Amino acid sequence: MSSVFGKLPIIDSIDLSNFPFKKVIFGITCANFLFERYVAYRQYKLLKSNDRKFPEALKGRVDEKKFIESDAYGLAKSKFEMVTSFISMGVGLATLTMYSSIWNYSVSIGNSILSTILRKPFEMSLIANNVAFFILSTTISTFLNLPISYYQHFVLEEKFGFNKMTKSLFVMDSIKTLILVNTLGSIPLYILGLVLKKCTDNFVFYIWIFIIGLQITLFFLNDLVIQPLFYTFTPLNNKELEDKINALAKECGFPLSEIYMIDGSKRSSHSNAYFSGLPFMKKKIVIFDTLIKDSSIDEVVAVLGHEIGHWKMNHISQMLVISQVHISAFFMLFDIVFKNAKMFADFNFIIDPSSKVPTATLPGSSYAIVNDFPFLVGLLVFSQLIQPTDLLMNFAMNLFSRHNEYQADNYAVKLGKGEDLKKALIQLQITNLSTISVDKLFSMYHYSHPVLCERINAIDKYTSEQAKKSD
Ligand SMILES: [Zn+2]
């Protein structure tokens, strides 16, 4: 195992003791930002221009008024994103320079809370300091994001009739999310800290094991705790639809356990359907009430035919394997900078192993003196450093995901559901007001699914291929 997961031989030969981490990270962040702005601008320009054409594939299928309305929604989202991207970029860079201050505050607050609870002076370990830093920085960023999120729901989405959320539901959702992220994030973070501390020689292997365990745990938590906290699951009460889904599952050999409907309409009128279940386990199908309301029974079944296509062609397992490789590669590279004092010094963290306490600085100090490497700060800084690889990975993953979408569409065509799938996709497009005019680069960077007319054209092609075969 150690040959696969151990230290890369090249790592020891890399000398980064004088590498200007802070300057490079700021440079990369700015370059990344400019690239994203350029991509967004191309889309904005397209939606603004008057020579957008109503796609041939949609003529007679989508009302031209919907075309205008969906592009207007796209334009509004594009303008909103223009403004918020500048705010997020500013907040992101400011937070990065303030990591050491946030660290000092989080340690001090954490120690006081625990001392009060235990009724004696208490000093958290360095791993716990990382967890306290995580909780405080997540809480700060949640509050900073609230106005943007509020505007998005109650102004932008409201204007186009999507927002179904009340203000009290918005507040409750924000509180639930913050508590969930902090509790569900803190435990694995603490374990990760222990793995990095105890298994220094071969930590990538142990982290890989840990991540697999985490993914399985999160899967069950998501199914049993997280989703039910936000949505109500009710067994499907439509006999005809249920019979047709059962027949479809039988035809495809799909291990269906239960079919549920969820009240997606409580929050938004965007529609969807999905199935969940680990490989080799029975799976449940979940359909949004909005999808059932807006589509005919055969159209809902066609959408599920597409979803079962994903299962049949092992797309979910493939994605899982890719994410494992990605995470392992991330930690193998992280090994290069994990114990680089210069990187931490660039962000005002001084490592002093002789210090008697894990954190020797008090709130108000712009420096943080710690007695070992603060791994979470290292991970955050490192993920900023490798943004260019994330960008390439994003393009590659979108390409792969689109390929999968076409395959799943083809599967639905082979089940004889091509026509219904087309109708369902058009209906989904209309209810979700998905933008019809999309710039090539914008769609390559942002879209994991092909745009509607690409899919319609492909389904037509698969259908005629299928007809030729059966002749
Ligand atoms: Zn799909």
Chain centroid, CA 308 distance in Å: 22
For position 395, what pLDDT does the model report? 95
The answer to whether 30 and 82 are in contact (CB under 8 A) is no
Residue 169 belongs to a domain? yes
The angle formed by the CA atoms of residues 172, 174 and 176, to the nearest 5 degrees, is 65
The pLDDT tens digits of the residues spanning 84-108 come to 999 989 999 999 999 999 999 999 9
- Residue 108 is encoded by which pair of tokens? 């001090």
pLDDT at residue 138, rounded to an integer: 94
- Distance of CA 272 from the midpoint of ligand 1 (Å): 11
Once rounded to an integer, what is the mean pLDDT over residues 285-309?
92
Residue 296 in domain: yes
Q: Count structural domains, the chain.
A: 1
- Residue 33's pLDDT band, with cuts at 50, 70 and 90, is very high
Look at residue 67 and tell me whether its pLDDT is greater than 60: yes
Give first-to-last CA distance, the chain, whole Å: 53
What is the Å distance from ligand 1's center to 306 Cα?
6
Residue 213 within any structural domain of the chain: yes
Q: Report how far ligand 1's centroid is from the alpha carbon of 312 (Å).
A: 12
Whether residue 3 has pLDDT greater than 50: no
Q: Give the model's confidence band at 11: pLDDT under 50 very low, under 70 low, under 90 confident, else very high.
A: low
- 310 is an annotated ligand-binding site residue: yes
Model-wide pTM > 0.85: no
Q: Which residues are identified as catalytic?
A: 307, 409
349 closest CA partner among 175, 96, 167:
96
306 marked among binding-site residues: yes
> Which CA distances in Å does 23 have to 97, 209, 234, 384?
12, 35, 53, 12
For strands 283-288 and 256-262, give the pairing. Answer: parallel
- Ranges 24-38, 151-165, 339-353, 396-410: which has the least confidence: 151-165
Give me the mean pLDDT over the 341-350 stretch: 94
What distance in angstroms lies between residue 261's CA and the mean position of ligand 1's atoms? 19
Domain contains 375: yes
| Tens digits of residue pLDDT in 97-150 | 999 999 999 999 999 999 999 999 999 999 999 999 999 999 999 999 899 999
- Is 9 a member of any domain? no
Other beta carbons within 10 angstroms of residue 356's beta carbon come to: 8
- What pLDDT shows up at residue 27? 95
Does 280 fall in a domain? yes
pLDDT: which is higher, 227 or 201: 227
CA 276 to each of CA 180, 235, 280, 300, 469: distance values in angstroms, whole numbers, following the listed order: 21, 15, 12, 17, 33
452 CA to centre of ligand 1 in angstroms? 12
Residue 439 pLDDT > 50: yes
| Separation of alpha carbons 104 and 101, rounded Å | 5
455 lies in a domain?
yes
What does the mean pLDDT of the chain come to? 89
Say what the pLDDT of residue 251 is: 95
Distances (CA, A) of 390 to 376, 383, 387, 397: 19, 9, 5, 10
Residue 341 CA, ligand 1 centroid: distance in Å: 45
pLDDT of residue 4: 52
CA distance 447 to 428: 16
The mean pLDDT value for 282-289 works out to: 89
pLDDT digits (tens, 9 = 90+) for 224-272: 888 888 889 999 889 999 999 999 999 999 999 999 999 876 665 555 8
Percent of the chain with pLDDT over 90: 54
Distance 283 CA to ligand 1 centre (A): 16
Q: pLDDT at position 1, please?
A: 42
Average pLDDT (291-311) is 92
13 in a domain, yes or no? no
Exposure string for 54-93, b = 16+ CB within 10 A, e = fewer: ebebbeebbeeebbeebbebbbbbbeebeebeeebbeeeb
**Of residues 202, 162, 218, 234, the one with CA closest to residue 433:** 162
Would you call 35 exposed, middle or buried from its count of C-beta atoms within 10 A (0-12, 13-18, 19+)? Answer: middle
Domain containing residue 428: 21-50+61-470
Average pLDDT over residues 430-459: 88
When pLDDT is cut at 50, 70 and 90, the band that residue 7 belongs to is low
Distances (CA, A) of 426 to 52, 81, 197, 209, 217: 19, 26, 53, 43, 36
pLDDT, tens digit (0-9, with 9 covering 90-100), for 384-401: 999 999 999 999 999 999
